[in-house]
C-alpha cells in the first residue's frame, strides 16, 4: 500500500472543503469494501483520502416531500432492516440480500455501490426501474439528476473529484409501485451477477402502465429497455406480451463473452429474468 494523507472532516461542509482543497488527487472513503481492496494494489498514492462514513448528513432513510430519501452512507444492512424500505420498495431488500457477505453488507454503502459503478452492481437496476434521482454536492453547490445520467461507463460516473454523492431519492409517485428484482450468478451467495433485472409497473384496468425494465451486467452501465417497455405500455396483461417483452429486452442489451458466461447464455438469462420480474410485478399489482 502506498502512503497517503487521511482526512476525517466533522461535517458535510468540511468534507466538501477537503475535497476541493486536495482535488484532483483525492478519494472518498465510506464503507471501504471496494476501495480498501483497490488501495492495496494501486501503483500510485491516491494523495488524500477523505473519510465520510461517519457524516450524519449522509445517513438516514426518511420520507420527504418529493419521495423517499436514502442517504448515500446508508449500509445495505440498514436497507434490509428499515421499515420504510419494506413498506415502499421491498425489491431493494431483495437486491441488498444478494450483495456480498454479511460483513460486506454491514459496511458497504448504497452510495459506494453506485459510485463504484461496476456494470453488475446489484443496487442499480431497482433504483433505475423506479426512476430514482441522486443529489451531488460540490463547492459550486448541489445538483440533482436521474440515476441513469449519473452513470457514464464502467467504474465511471459524472462525479468530479471535488464532488460528493449525498443521497438517492425515489420519487413520491413511485413509492409502493410493484417492483421485482432477480439476479443470476454462478453461485447463490457472494457472486457477481451474470445478469440482474428489475421491473416496475402498474396494472390499470387490466393493462400495463408506467412500465420500467432495467438490466445490469449486460452493458457498460445499468440500462433501461425503452423498446421493451413501450411494447407493454397500454397492453392487456397476458403471457404473450410478457414473452415478447423479454425477447425485445435481449435486443437492447450488449452482453459480452468472458470466462464466466457466453453472450448467448447471457441473452437467454435476459429473456428469462425479464419475464420473471414482469410476472412477479404483475402478481404484486394484482394483490388486494
Classify 235 in phi/psi space as left (phi over 0), alpha (psi -120 to 50) or beta. Answer: beta
Q: Which residue segments constitute the domains of the chain, with CATH numbers given?
A: 5-51 (3.30.43.10), 56-174 (3.30.465.10), 179-285 (3.30.390.50)
pLDDT digits 0-9 by tens, 114-161 = 999 999 999 999 999 999 999 999 999 999 999 999 999 999 999 999
Average pLDDT over residues 171-179: 98
Average pLDDT over residues 210-217: 98
∠ CA 165-89-30, rounded to 5°: 25
- Residue 35 has φ and ψ, to the nearest 5°, of -70, -35
Res 189: pLDDT? 64
Strand order in the sheet with 5-7: 5-7, 48-51, 26-29
pLDDT bracket for residue 280 (50, 70, 90): very high
pLDDT bracket for residue 265 (50, 70, 90): very high
pLDDT digits 0-9 by tens, 221-245 = 999 999 999 999 999 999 999 999 9
Whether the pLDDT of residue 188 is over 80: the answer is no
SS3 130: coil
pLDDT bracket for residue 177 (50, 70, 90): very high
∠ CA 111-134-33, rounded to 5°: 10
Radius of gyration of the chain (CA): 19
Res 41: pLDDT? 77
Whether the pLDDT of residue 180 is over 70: the answer is yes
Amino acid at each position: 500500500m502506498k502512503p497517503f494523507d487521511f482526512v476525517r472532516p466533522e461535517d458535510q461542509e468540511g468534507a466538501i472543503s477537503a475535497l476541493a482543497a486536495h482535488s484532483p488527487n483525492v478519494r472518498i472513503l465510506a464503507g471501504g469494501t471496494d476501495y480498501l481492496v483497490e488501495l492495496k494494489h494501486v501503483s500510485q498514492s491516491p494523495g488524500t483520502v477523505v473519510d465520510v462514513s461517519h457524516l450524519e448528513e449522509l445517513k438516514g432513510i426518511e420520507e420527504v416531500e418529493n419521495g423517499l430519501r436514502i442517504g448515500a452512507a446508508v449500509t445495505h444492512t440498514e436497507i434490509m432492516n428499515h421499515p420504510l424500505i419494506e413498506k415502499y420498495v421491498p425489491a431493494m431488500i431483495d437486491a441488498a440480500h444478494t450483495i456480498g457477505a454479511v460483513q460486506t453488507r454491514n459496511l458497504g454503502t448504497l452510495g459506494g455501490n453506485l459510485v463504484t459503478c461496476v456494470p453488475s452492481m446489484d443496487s442499480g437496476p431497482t433504483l433505475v426501474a423506479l426512476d430514482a434521482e441522486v443529489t451531488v454536492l460540490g463547492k459550486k453547490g448541489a445538483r440533482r439528476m436521474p440515476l441513469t445520467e449519473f452513470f457514464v461507463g464502467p467504474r465511471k460516473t459524472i462525479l468530479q473529484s471535488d464532488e460528493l454523492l449525498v443521497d438517492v431519492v425515489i420519487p413520491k409517485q413511485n413509492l409502493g409501485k410493484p417492483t421485482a428484482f432477480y439476479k443470476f450468478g454462478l453461485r447463490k451467495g457472494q457472486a457477481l451477477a451474470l445478469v440482474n433485472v428489475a421491473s416496475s409497473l402498474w396494472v390499470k384496468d387490466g393493462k400495463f402502465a408506467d412500465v420500467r425494465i432495467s438490466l445490469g451486467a449486460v452493458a457498460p452501465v445499468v440500462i433501461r429497455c425503452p423498446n421493451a417497455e413501450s411494447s407493454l405500455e397500454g397492453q392487456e396483461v397476458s403471457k404473450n406480451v410478457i414473452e415478447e417483452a423479454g425477447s425485445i429486452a435481449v435486443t437492447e442489451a450488449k452482453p459480452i463473452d468472458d470466462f464466466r458466461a457466453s453472450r448467448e447464455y447471457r441473452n437467454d438469462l435476459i429473456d428469462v429474468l425479464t419475464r420473471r420480474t414482469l410476472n412477479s410485478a404483475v402478481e404484486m399489482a394484482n394483490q388486494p
